Structure 1
């Protein structure tokens, strides 16, 4: 169950789904797909390439010292997507999501130099907060997913409880503030 939760709600999965959901909500799935391309497909493709070449330990980059390069590459991809979305006139709500993703990524990358916070729970918590802001309090139930993802990361011994809590707090606060202000 822990492995299933880790895979189904992995950062790349949520980074692919959330722009499409927000794009659809804003009336433009096409722009959501563009956001998904730059936030998930391109960065995850680079990670898979690194795993195949043996320069990365696994798809989740469990070795902290291997995370900086892929995180920086991912930030560059998100930044390029953000520029394209803004220049092309994508919906404001979608751009707000991408900016919040970028801000969360910058903070996660900075923390990664010193400590291994859980990006899985950060992305899950950020996604949950955005869903609540967009669709209302009925989606407070998505907090169950955040807790389940946190449990899975600890159960698989990929993170400590503190790393999961810090990751979730960062994701929730950054998404709430950035997305909330920009949408």
Structure 2
């Protein structure tokens, strides 16, 4: 594989397993597996998309267009503070709505894990970047390993590919990939152990 082909593959992998996308099927699958109807799972997932994914996508689009962010991956560590602040605020608001709305316990556990991982990511970002792609991939893999092990194993096979893509595109180092994996997987497993 030549360099141009490898770069193109890395870009495709980064888009397919984007943090704002990979969580969508994960939430639906986990909720249905633990007893929600497909309609309920779709409702809570769409609410999550509107509350978190859409505002974050708008922030990224605006940030790149205005020059506030260097690129769609927000490759410069110092520029990521607003990503964590807005993302964290959106997650906390969504968590409150889920609790008040008596959402399924699994999605509440996912959101608590995400809030904790985001807070840790904010702290880590003061020293080095944490790969959000790897964090999302590892968090979703952990959720699926807990709820639907076979799908979780399939996701686990793709996690190193996502890490390779982020390194290949020079957005992250191997250490930043590992930090992303560890933070989110530990958060999911600890919260799930306490709540499910």
User: Normalised by the size of structure 1, how large is the TM-score?
Assistant: 0.92
How does 1:126-141 map onto structure 2 within 5 Å?
126-137=139-150, 139-141=152-154
Question: Which runs of structure 1 show a deviation greater than 4 angstroms over 4 or more consecutive aligned residues?
Answer: none
Q: Which runs of 5+ in 2 are unaligned?
A: 1-8
Task: Report whether the alignment pairs 1:7 with 2:32.
Answer: no
Superposed displacement of residue 138, structure 1: 5.3
Task: Report whether the alignment pairs 1:67 with 2:80.
Answer: yes
- Name the SS of the counterpart of 1:45 in structure 2: helix
Which residue does 1:123 correspond to in 2?
136
- Kindly provide the CA deviation profile for residues 136-167 of structure 1, in whole angstroms up to 9, marking residues without a partner as x: 25532311111110011111111111111121
The 8 Å contact of residues 19 and 33 in structure 1, kept in 2 or not, is answered as no
User: Normalised by the size of structure 2, how large is the TM-score?
Assistant: 0.86
Q: Which runs of 5+ in 1 are unaligned?
A: none
How many residues in Structure 1 have an aligned counterpart in Structure 2? 183
RMSD of aligned residue pairs (Cα, Å): 1.6
Say which is worse superposed, 41-50 or 84-93, in terms of deviation: 41-50
**Equivalent residue in structure 1 for 2:110, among 90, 97, 100:** 97
The 8 Å contact of residues 11 and 120 in structure 1, kept in 2 or not, is answered as yes
How does 1:148-159 map onto structure 2 within 5 Å?
148-159=161-172
Say which is worse superposed, 21-30 or 81-90, in terms of deviation: 21-30
Say which is worse superposed, 127-136 or 31-40, in terms of deviation: 31-40
Which residue does 1:18 correspond to in 2?
26
